[in-house]
Structure 1
Amino acid sequence: MKEIVFLINEAEEGGFTAQALGESIFTDAETMNDLKKNIQEAIKFHFDNPADKPKIAHLHFVKDEVLAIV
């Protein structure tokens, strides 16, 4: 695997969450900089074999917005 995709959401209580697509990796943080660091650490610990570790992580930002219909 050369690349991995994370869905990034704003947490209701503040901060951000990140969940990998196709892998059991989930992390969160209060700031975007901390989230990026946590994603890198989570990837390191998730893949036992260094050859399996992705070289690139795509961060896909998801934003839910509510629109009232009048």
Structure 2
Amino acid sequence: MKANEIIFLVEESLEGGYEAKAIGESIFTEAESIEKLKSNIKEAVHCHFDNPNFSHKVVFHS
């Protein structure tokens, strides 16, 4: 894994929708659809690092 790469494990939630957990970082989010989950992941990563100039590549793994 590269320094600017964050891998998310994506799973269907038992309650419906999807959950995403970053591997190696304390970043978690959930959503009702995959498209909304992608948006939530981007927002969660930006909030976690609190740096607007942080460049990253997000990888989804299910």
TMscore range, shorter length: 0.7 to 0.9
Letter in 2 for 1:56: K
With the length of structure 1 as denominator, give the TM-score of the two structures. 0.78
Tell me, which stretches of 5 or more residues in structure 1 are unaligned? 62-70
Q: Distance in 2 between matches of 1:44 and 1:36?
A: 13
CA deviation after TM superposition for structure 1 residue 50, in Å:
4.5
> Whose radius of gyration is greater, 1 or 2?
1
1:38 aligns with one of 37, 40, 43: 40
* TM-score for both structures, normalised by structure 2: 0.87
RMSD of aligned Cα (Å): 1.3
Q: After the TM superposition, which parts of structure 1 deviate over 2 Å for at least 4 consecutive aligned residues?
A: 48-51
SS in 1 for 2:16: coil
- Percent identity, please: 50
